[in-house]
Structures are given as C-alpha cells and as structure tokens.
C-alpha cells in the first residue's frame, strides 16, 4: 500500500512557479567591515544570486562574506552568536561564503527573506557587488487567486498578508514554514488546506499531502505520525501528536466536503478510520482521551479538556461526512459522539464556576478548554457563548500563544454566531501583526510580547508560518468586512 500511496502523491506533485525579483542598483563598492542591505520589497522564498567584480585591480584572494536572510527587519541587527534556543542554530539563515572569482555567484540553498544583509569579512581589496536577483518559488498560482470583494480596509490588508503567507508556504507540499522546519505537519496542513480552498483552490496539493501521510507509519495505538519529509527522500517523522493524528481525519473530511472527490475519500477511508479508532486507545478509565496532545505552544498548559474537545469535534465532522457517503459505520461513531459529549460535560464542566475548570487539568482555567469544548459540541447556544466569552475576557485565564490556536478561537466564535467578536479578534491578533509591519504572518504571536518564543529564543521563530494564514479563510468564507 505504501508504494501505491506514494505513487498517488507523486501524481499530484505541483509545478513550482518561478519569478525573478531583480534589484536594480549601481554596483556597490564594499571593503572589509562594510555591510549592504537589500530590501526585496516583500517576503519571498527562493534562491539568491549576485555579481562580484573587482574595483582597483584584480582580486587575488577569495572574498569572504556573511550573507544573512531576514524575514523581518528585526533580524537584520540580531546577534546570532548569543543564540540560546532549543532548536538547532543552523536554522538561522546566515551563510559564510567565499567568493573565489569575479562573476555571478549563485547561492545553492533556498531561503525565506524580505531583507538580505551582506557583510564583508575578509578580502584583499574592495570589491563591487551588483546584479542582485532573487528567484522566488511557490506552487501557488497567483493568476488563479480567487477575486473577491471586501470593504473593510483593515481586513483587506489582513487578507493580503494571509494570502502571501500561504503562497510562500506552498511549495512541493504545504510546508509549515519556509525558514523552519520546511516540512509537512498535519496541524499546519489542515489550516493551509482550508485557506487554500478559498484562495488558490489547488486541490491537487491537498490530495498529495493526504496521500503522503497515508504512506507513513502508525504508532502502537494506531495513530498517524505528526509530520513527514518528502524531498529528496520520503521519511516518516518520529513524533506522534495525538490531536494531529485526529486532524488528519478532519483534513480528509474537509477535502471531500470541498471537492466532492469520492474516489480519494474512499481510497483513504481506512487510513482515516484507523486514526479515528486510535483515539479509543487513548481513553482513560473515565472514557476521556488522554495523552500526547499538542493544542498550542503554550508553556504550562494543561490540555486534557482541549484534547477531548478535538476528539469530539473530529468525531462530529467524521460522522457528518461518512453519513453523506452512506457508510453504515456511522451508527457506531454517532453513538461514540453522543456518549463522549455526555461524559465530557459531566466530568469536565464545573457548574459552580460555569467554566471548564476541572481536576483533570489541575483546575487550570484556559481559553483552550473553552474553545475546544464549544467546537466539540459539549456546550452550545447562549450557555456556550457565556462560557467562551468569560474565558476570553477573564484576566485569570491562560491565553493562546500561536495563530494556530487563535484560529480555533475564531472558529469557536463563528460557530456560536459571534461574528462581530470574531472579526474583532482577527483584527486584534492578525491586525496586530500587520501593524507591526508583517509581510507574512508569524508562527507565534502574543500581543505586546514580541520576544516570546516556545523555543527559548525569538530569533528561531518562523515569521512566515503556514498555520497563521487562516484569516483569509474566515474573511472569504463568511464574507467578513463586506457589509459596511
């Protein structure tokens, strides 16, 4: 089967479109210690080349330079020597290169950048740099971007940045971030696919990603691995994230619901079903799923309630989808859903506090729990509105840290019909990034705390991150900003 899934994935390999960004400047003369900064005018992903020539006589030794690719202007002056993050420093986009001869120099690696900073470290004499060309690459077909009408200027800007984020993450697969980790994760795939349906509408790339995950290995509980690598060779990731495994099921259901492609759904049905059933193996003695969930990069978050919500949310979408396709198994899952919701309400809801505060999560109060209990259908209507808004407005609740989790906050607000509040939230989070000068949306965003990083150092954060591109989905799907 693995070979078959990989073959299907290859059949849906998207074409990479290239575009040259040419920076027209007079040759710049630089000596040792000098620095030159190129502004590409927007965030791009691709390959960089330039020309080096001599000024006062032939250069008889290599010119050593540091070339730094910066996604935002804050990176231009960062000191990389004091990097203290937990992820490998080699993700920091800086190369020390030695240019041996005058001529055009093509840098071989792919970068994500708005700014390029060149510093001359050693050289026998001054050199001149010119002909800066950045060849941007993406599998998004910008000519096919679905046109739409929007009257709210702020939301229009947000939409533009969201589309740019998606475009730059759309490569051979939906990458999570073109600077880091440059791979396919289920949680990111789901959100990119949703945004893609309302923008570039490239269903082949979604199909490719779904087949690639089908070709990966399962853990002893039957869950799907959270990420994979596919270029130059296919390698299954090694981290099992139990909520991501469920989000594979959601991604397949979304795909079918959007495209109506029954053949692919049927092909991947058993993969999704095994992920759905794997959740049974995560249940504790109370019948609540437990263990190994991600939810958000939020330090100190207790996430049992939220994970249960994701389980119920997935089960619900799964039931709705397989019902449409007349699968008789729907009865089994509908029963699980009903029972699951009852158990969740009984065990996780605190009537006195009118909140999802419980012993399973050490009595921690979080927006995450409220959001996922709403999305899981454990509470609804006016009660749910109060529960969610209280959690969002409380000074004591733990708040989301990533636009990934912010996405599900907006989703929960819209599910409850709180459209204005959803719009406000989008403007607060993603609008905040736009106000900070974002060309693309960041992996992590905590208002008023730009230095926050779950990895121990802000410098390693990805500033063009796929899971942050979803305002375009909400804006376009629900017509936000249209009725002014």
Of the pair 439, 443, the CB lying nearest ligand RAM is at 443
Q: Order of strands, edge to edge, in the sheet holding 227-229?
A: 184-185, 227-229, 235-236
CB 119 within 8 A of CB 63: no
192 sits near ligand RAM (criterion: CB under 6 A): no
The site for ligand RAM, by CB under 6 A, has a size of: 8
Of the pair 411, 443, the CB lying nearest ligand RAM is at 443
CB of 404 to ligand RAM, least distance (A): 7
What does the H/E/C string look like for the chain?
CHHHHHHHHHHCCCCCEEEEEEECCCCEEECCCCEEEEEEEEEEEEEEEEEEEECCCCCCCCEEEEEEEECCHHHCCCCHHHCCCCCCHHHCCEEEEEECCCEEEECCCCEEEEEEEEEEEECCCCEEEEEEEEEEEECCCHHHCCCCCCCCHHHHHHHHHHHHHHHHHECCCECCCCCCCCCEEHHHHHHHHHHHHCCCCCHHHHHHHHHHHHCCCECCCCCECCEEECCCCCEECCCCCHHHHHHHHHHHHHHHHHHCCHHHHHHHHHHHHHHHHHHHHHECCCCCECCCCCCCCCCCCCCHHHHHHHHHHHHHHHHHHHHHCCCCCHHHHHHHHHHHHHHHHHHHCECCCCECCCHHHCCCCEHHHHHHHHHCCCCCHHHHHHHHHHHHHCCCCECCCCHHHHHHHHHHHHHCCCHHHHHHHHHHHHHHHHHCCCCCCCCCCCCCCCCCCCCCCHHHCCCCCHHHCCHHHHHHHHCCCCCC
Candidate ranges 76-84, 114-122, 184-192, 230-238; the one touching ligand RAM (CB under 6 A): 184-192
Of the pair 467, 473, the CB lying nearest ligand RAM is at 467
Of the pair 188, 267, the CB lying nearest ligand RAM is at 188
One character per residue 235-274, x = contact with ligand RAM (rule: CB under 6 A) = ----------------------------------------
One character per residue 215-234, x = contact with ligand RAM (rule: CB under 6 A) = --------------------
Of the pair 298, 344, the CB lying nearest ligand RAM is at 298
Cis amide prior to 181 (ω within 30 degrees): yes
CB of 183 to ligand RAM, least distance (A): 8
CB of 403 to ligand RAM, least distance (A): 10
CB of 469 to ligand RAM, least distance (A): 12
Of the pair 309, 403, the CB lying nearest ligand RAM is at 403
- Which of positions 405-444 make contact with ligand RAM (CB under 6 A)? 443
Reading the block at residue 196, the tokens are 């893609």
Per CB under 6 A, the list member of 159, 175, 188, 411 interacting with ligand RAM is 188
CB 279 within 8 A of CB 308: no
Candidate ranges 18-26, 105-113, 115-123, 179-187; the one touching ligand RAM (CB under 6 A): 179-187
CB of 144 to ligand RAM, least distance (A): 25
CB of 244 to ligand RAM, least distance (A): 7
Of the pair 403, 481, the CB lying nearest ligand RAM is at 403
307 sits near ligand RAM (criterion: CB under 6 A): no
Of the pair 176, 254, the CB lying nearest ligand RAM is at 176
CB of 12 to ligand RAM, least distance (A): 22
Per CB under 6 A, the list member of 181, 277, 329, 424 interacting with ligand RAM is 181
Nearest by Cα to 179 from 274, 309, 75: 75
Candidate ranges 25-33, 122-130, 167-175, 183-191; the one touching ligand RAM (CB under 6 A): 183-191
Distance CA 223, CA 200 (A): 30
CB of 300 to ligand RAM, least distance (A): 17
176 sits near ligand RAM (criterion: CB under 6 A): yes
185 sits near ligand RAM (criterion: CB under 6 A): yes
Of the pair 392, 409, the CB lying nearest ligand RAM is at 409
294 sits near ligand RAM (criterion: CB under 6 A): yes
Binding site for ligand RAM (CB under 6 A): 176, 181, 185, 187-188, 294, 443, 467
């Amino acid at each position: 089967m693995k070979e078959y899934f990989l073959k299907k994935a290859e059949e849906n390999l998207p074409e990479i479109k290239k575009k040259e960004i040419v920076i027209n400047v007079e040759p710049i003369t630089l000596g040792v210690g000098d620095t030159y900064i190129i502004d590409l005018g927007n965030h791009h992903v691709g390959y960089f080349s330039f020309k080096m020539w001599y000024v006062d006589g032939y250069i008889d030794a290599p010119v050593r330079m540091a070339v730094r690719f910066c996604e935002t202007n804050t990176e231009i002056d960062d000191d990389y020597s004091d990097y203290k993050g937990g992820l490998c420093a080699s993700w920091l986009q800086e190369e020390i290169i030695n240019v041996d001869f005058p001529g055009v120099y093509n840098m071989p690696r792919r970068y994500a950048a708005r700014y390029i900073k060149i510093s001359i470290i050693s050289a026998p004499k001054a050199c001149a740099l010119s002909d800066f060309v950045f060849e941007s690459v993406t599998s998004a077909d910008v000519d096919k971007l679905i046109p739409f009408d929007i009257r709210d200027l702020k939301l229009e800007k947000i939409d533009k940045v969201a589309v740019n984020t998606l475009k730059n993450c759309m490569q051979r697969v939906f990458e999570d971030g073109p600077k880091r980790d440059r791979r396919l994760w289920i949680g990111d795939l789901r959100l990119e696919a949703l945004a893609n349906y309302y923008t570039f509408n490239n269903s082949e790339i979604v199909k490719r990603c779904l087949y690639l995950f089908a070709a990966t290995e399962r853990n002893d509980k039957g869950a799907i691995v959270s990420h994979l690598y596919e270029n130059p060779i296919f390698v299954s990731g090694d981290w099992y994230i139990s909520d991501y495994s469920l989000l594979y099921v959601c991604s397949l259901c979304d795909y079918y619901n959007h495209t109506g492609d029954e053949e692919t759904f049927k092909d991947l049905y058993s993969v999704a079903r095994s992920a759905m059933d794997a959740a049974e193996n995560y249940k504790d003695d109370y019948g609540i799923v437990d263990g190994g969930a991600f939810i958000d990069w939020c330090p100190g978050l207790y996430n049992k309630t939220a994970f249960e919500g994701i389980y119920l949310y997935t089960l619900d979408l799964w039931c709705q989808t397989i019902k449409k396709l007349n699968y008789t198994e729907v009865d089994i899952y509908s029963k699980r859903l009903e029972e699951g919701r009852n158990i969740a309400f009984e065990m996780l809801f605190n009537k006195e506090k009118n909140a999802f505060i419980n012993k399973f999560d050490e009595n921690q109060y979080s927006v995450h729990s409220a959001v996922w209990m709403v999305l899981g259908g454990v509470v609804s209507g006016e009660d749910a509105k109060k529960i969610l808004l209280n959690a969002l407005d409380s000074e004591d609740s733990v708040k989301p840290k990533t636009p990934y989790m912010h996405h599900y906050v907006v989703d929960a607000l819209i599910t409850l019909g709180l459209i204005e509040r959803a719009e406000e939230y989008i403007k607060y989070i993603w609008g905040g990034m736009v106000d900070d000068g974002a060309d693309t949306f960041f992996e992590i965003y905590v208002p008023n705390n730009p230095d926050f990083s779950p990895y121990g150092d802000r410098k390693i954060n990805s500033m063009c991150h796929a899971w942050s591109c979803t305002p375009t989905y909400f804006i376009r799907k629900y017509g936000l900003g249209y009725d002014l």
